[in-house]
Amino acid sequence: MIKLVLVGHTNVGKTSLLRTLTRDVGFGEVSHRPSTTRHVEGARLSVDGDPLLELYDTPGLEDAIALLDYLERLDRPGERLDGPARLERFLAGSEARQRFEQEAKVLRQLLQSDAGLYVIDAREPVLAKYRDELHVLASCGKPLLPVLNFVASANQRESAWREALARLGLHALVKFDSVAPPEDGERRLYENLALLMEDRRPALERLIADQQAQRGVRRQSANRLIAELLIDCAAGRRSVANQASEQAIEALRQAVRRREQKCVDALLRLYAFRSGDAAASDLPLLDGRWGDDLFNPETLKQLGVRVGGGVAAGAAAGAGIDILVGGVTLGAAALLGAIAGGAVQTARNYGGRLMGKLKGQRELSVDDAVLRLLALRQRQLLAALDARGHAALEAIRISAGDEQAWRSGKLPEALRKARAHPQWSRMNPGAKIDQAERQEQIESLAKHLSVAP
């Protein structure tokens, strides 16, 4: 098993990086205060039950300038100790337990590890203390891979750091923003480690393959969760008397809101984020603006969704029956005949609903515009989660992508079919969510979501 230690100055994001690599938002303490980590903490990554990598977080190096000066005076007359031998003498002395206690913890762990990640806050200028840190760490005789953190920041100094590291003989480095990691960030990090540790390449390649496979599985599962949400809402129904329409519309709206929040919660769990990192009531829409009410027409307009006949089809005109029978309008006589004769399975599947229509009831369903909005919001949330590091502390803020396929044009066939099957919706009484045809349409819609722009 490979032992890898994260080292560097105080408050450069070592714990943040480890949270992102382990997908554990609860690991350690992430804070803007310096010296948050005061002791060594560890985590383990396994594949199919086989432990492949141990990661260790360490306190920040606080006074490398003084430590380097102290180390250079440890050689006795006539001695020329190499780096590890000099460090062993230092660690056995009293200064390692007093003045340089934090630095000693770091050096002990690096000496016991196979390699180190030297984490750099790329926003910081290249100062003498950082050069001295690298000289001290190099004394351990272990491979060091510099990691440029926070490179997504507008004020990062990547070029200056590259030049400084090259002067110190460190030409291999990796960019990895722990708050907004690049899609291939982990792969590049482990590939660069493999260049420094050729004998450990098989284990690192196995880890890379497993993490890429997990990423694909997460995306598939996420698209299926969104597909289930859309199917449930497309098949959602409320049958009401005319005088109760307003109350029924609001009840349907609340059901949709709750169902969307359930999807949001499931996506956050799938990506191992905190429950408060996003909520359906305040999902970001355009340019970092936070969304208004899901059913506010202005919200639809902001996302470029074409608003049709309202947020509940049939609420104004009482035409919900057209959806029930696939768009074919039936007169009263035809309805009675269908119920009496059981034509095309109407009596079995829709008899009670058709009788309600004859008695003056209306059937409410979720408008296409709201289905489009739900799809856009969830797809944007998914994109944000896919690009979010587990060290991020701020709530999710994203901007709209190129989602024209969901703003206009025909909705996927699976949603049209769901309109005719209210028993597919979890929001309806007597839902039959284990039906094979429902599962088939969910899988079809999930596949559509995975390839749609």
Helices (H), 6-99: 14-22, 64-72, 83-92
- Is residue 328 assigned to a domain? yes
- Is residue 18 assigned to a domain? yes
SS3 173: coil
**In the chain, how long is the greatest CA-to-CA distance?**
112
- Is residue 342 assigned to a domain? yes
**190 and 226 housed in the same domain:** no
Nearest-angstrom CA–CA distance, 124 and 2: 30
**74 and 181 housed in the same domain:** yes
**374 and 442 housed in the same domain:** yes
CATH number for the domain harbouring residue 48: 3.40.50.300
- Is residue 203 assigned to a domain? no
- Is residue 214 assigned to a domain? no
- Is residue 421 assigned to a domain? yes
Could you tell me if 132 and 65 are in contact, meaning their C-beta atoms sit under 8 angstroms apart? yes
**166 and 238 housed in the same domain:** no
Which among 313, 337, 335 has a CA at the least distance from the CA of 325? Answer: 335
Domain count for the chain: 2
Classify strands 2-7 and 115-121 as parallel, antiparallel or unpaired: parallel
Which among 24, 424, 387 has a CA at the least distance from the CA of 219? Answer: 387
DSSP 437-450: HHHHHHHHHHHHHH
Q: What is the pLDDT of residues 104-147, one digit of tens each?
A: 999 999 999 999 999 999 999 999 999 999 999 999 999 999 99
- Is residue 201 assigned to a domain? no
**Which domain-ending residue is among 140, 164, 196?**
196
Q: What is the dihedral of CA 252, 257, 263, 266, to 10 degrees?
A: -120
**309 and 163 housed in the same domain:** no
What is residue 246's DSSP assignment? H
> What CA–CA distances, in Å, run from 193 to 53, 188, 203, 313, 316?
12, 9, 11, 57, 64
The sheet carrying 115-121 orders its strands as 41-47, 50-57, 2-7, 115-121, 144-149, 174-175
The boundaries of the domain holding residue 326 are 220-451
pLDDT of residue 164: 93
**Which domain-ending residue is among 133, 161, 196?**
196
Report helix angle 64-72 to 83-92, nearest 10. Answer: 100
> What CA–CA distances, in Å, run from 30 to 61, 142, 277?
17, 27, 16
- Is residue 393 assigned to a domain? yes
**133 and 101 housed in the same domain:** yes
What is the C-alpha R_g of the chain?
30
Which residues of the chain register pLDDT less than 70? 28-39, 241-245, 279-362, 391, 393, 395, 397-405, 452-453
Residue type, 28: G
Average pLDDT of the chain is 79
361 phi, psi to nearest 5 deg: -85, 155
Residues 6+ apart with CB under 8 A from 98: none
Question: 10 Å Cβ neighbour count for 81?
Answer: 15
Q: What is the pLDDT of residues 229-283, one digit of tens each?
A: 999 999 988 777 655 567 777 888 888 888 988 998 899 999 988 877 776 554 4
**155 and 272 housed in the same domain:** no
**Which domain-ending residue is among 128, 161, 196?**
196
**192 and 225 housed in the same domain:** no
Nearest-angstrom CA–CA distance, 100 and 119: 20
Q: For the chain, report the end-to-end CA distance as a whole number of angstroms.
A: 41
Nearest-angstrom CA–CA distance, 140 and 72: 14
**119 and 227 housed in the same domain:** no
Half-sphere exposure of 43 (CA within 13 A, CB side): 17
